[in-house]
Amino acid sequence: MQLPEIDRITALLTDYLDIQSRRAEIVAGNLANADTPNFRAQELDFQDYLRTAAQQALAPRASVATPPALDQTPRVVEQTNNVPGIDGNSVDTGHEMATLANAGGQFVFGTQMLQAHFRTLRLAIREGR
């Protein structure tokens, strides 16, 4: 069953919050293993995810009313920009803390957008009253 436009917006915003939450979980795992020998820091692969989303958005559809469905979530991959230390651990705590702060800020932004969306829905339900 096709969702109305409003429900697609809600779904998009909740997916955004889920991704930011997943980013924070991965960073927490990296920080928890900062002293583990040979641990390789991980991150979400947004490039692949965005490429797929763009391809689906640009693909011709049977109906204009049918939105593209993004079926995948970003993959967890090993960070490639960190140099391992003497013990083989590649976690950079400064980078991880900055990423965690960014994910937290993005999550707050997403919740504010979702709240604004719900306010708009409530206003529409009350017919502007």
- Which residue did the predictor score with more confidence, 77 or 30? 30
pLDDT tens readout for residues 65-94 = 445 455 567 888 888 888 888 899 989 999
User: What is the span of the domain harbouring residue 55?
Assistant: 5-125
Once rounded to an integer, what is the mean pLDDT over residues 41-58?
Answer: 77
78 phi and psi angles, rounded to 5 deg: -75, 135
Q: Which helix (H) or strand (E) holds 41?
A: none
- Contact, 68 vs 91, CB < 8 A? no
Domains contained in the chain, number: 1
pLDDT for 1 equals 44
- Report field, pTM of the whole predicted structure over 0.85: no
Distance CA 115, CA 45 (A): 28
Q: What pLDDT, on the 0 to 100 scale, is given for residue 128?
A: 66
